[in-house]
Amino acid sequence: MSSRTFLLTGATSGIGRAMAAQLVGPQVRLVLASRSRSEGEAVVKSLESKGEVLFRPLDLSSQRDVRGFAERFLAEEPRLDVLINNAGCQSQKPARSVDGLELVFATNVVGPFLLTRLLLERLKACAPARIVNTASTFAKGLDLEDLDFARRAYSDTAAYQASKQADRLFTWALARRLEGTRVTANAFSPGLVTSTGLYRDAPRSTLRILKVVSLFAGRTAEQGADTGAWLATAPELEAVSGRFYEKRKERPCEFRGRDAEEALWATCCRLSGLPE
């Protein structure tokens, strides 16, 4: 069997780092993409004895960076069999990306949308191929008319939950567009993983609450990553697309509806400068 190339974003901590460890192995060329070069190279060093692992810097909040990354990736990598959009962020205070977008939406939604669109033809050329999006059960409150929270009070939780609702809508709209291409798109929830880098800037009070909650409902990074790695590799899922999973079980998704999915798609196209 020929080697397959996997691209995993957000691979330097938490779920992403655990997933990298689960994916690395024979017949796999694993490309890790994250903001921190030092952390990325540390992950590569920890895994390189188990298989072929490379690191490439990527800041998903910057569209210029995403475009440059995609251009270099396509020039250097003849294959792309699996794209895993795992990177994400939370921001304790309102902030904007270098492109002037609300930072969490820019990083968690627009960046992965742009990256996926720019790499899509390579995925199609390597079909059967897969796209796996890390979503969350903590998803709600998306308002496409107020992405900047100009009319609502901002909170890190609200911004994150809205972005995770958008990630699911993006996945369903993408899966519909990929019908007949032998490229699939699915989303999964890792559950509550407090060791993820999402909470690196959280106040101590929030961290204390999360620590208590995690005792009853929390999952380890390895447990959280398991479903994502399974979606990326399981032979029985080769033709499965447009579904939402948790703990390797398909779950119903309340955020389904063609109008909402298409509105999100159009918004991402407008914000990223891509045609619909």
Q: Write down the catalytic residue from 154, 160, 199, 245.
A: 160
Tell me how many domains the chain contains: 1
pLDDT of residue 206: 45
> Alpha-carbon distance 179 to 202, whole Å?
40
Lowest-confidence pick of 97-106, 212-221, 245-254, 260-269 = 212-221
The DSSP 8-state label assigned to residue 237 in this structure reads G
For residue 15, pLDDT over 50 is answered with yes
Is the residue at 275 inside a domain? Answer: no
pLDDT of residue 202: 47
Is the residue at 271 inside a domain? Answer: no
Cis peptide before 94 (omega within 30 of 0): no
pLDDT of residue 70: 99
What long-range pairs does 233-238 form, CB within 8 A, spacing at least 24? 233/23, 233/82, 237/130, 237/184, 237/186, 238/128, 238/184
The percentage of the chain sitting over the pLDDT mark of 70, rounded to a whole number, equals 90
Q: What are phi and psi of 87, to 5 degrees?
A: -60, 145
> What's the domain range around 71?
4-266
The DSSP 8-state label assigned to residue 135 in this structure reads -
Q: What are phi and psi of 187, to 5 degrees?
A: -125, 155
Q: How far is CA 204 from CA 200, 201, 211, in A?
A: 10, 9, 10
130: exposed, middle or buried (Cβ count in 10 Å: 0-12, 13-18, 19+)? buried
Is the residue at 134 inside a domain? Answer: yes
- Which is more confidently placed, 18 or 206? 18
> Alpha-carbon distance 112 to 62, whole Å?
11
Going across the sheet that includes 129-134, the strands are 52-57, 28-34, 4-9, 82-85, 129-134, 183-189, 244-246, 249-250
CATH number at residue 87: 3.40.50.720
Is the residue at 154 inside a domain? Answer: yes
pLDDT of residue 199: 47
pLDDT tens figures, 80-133: 999 999 999 999 999 999 999 999 999 999 999 999 999 999 999 999 999 999
Is the residue at 276 inside a domain? Answer: no
For residue 20, pLDDT over 50 is answered with yes
> Alpha-carbon distance 245 to 242, whole Å?
10
Is the residue at 40 inside a domain? Answer: yes
For residue 198, pLDDT over 80 is answered with no
Is the residue at 274 inside a domain? Answer: no
What SS3 class is residue 207?
helix
> Alpha-carbon distance 104 to 154, whole Å?
11
Is the residue at 49 inside a domain? Answer: yes
For residue 3, pLDDT over 60 is answered with yes
Q: Which tokens sit at 46?
A: 């920890």
CA 53 from centre of chain: 19
CA 7 from centre of chain: 11
Known catalytic membership, residue 160: yes
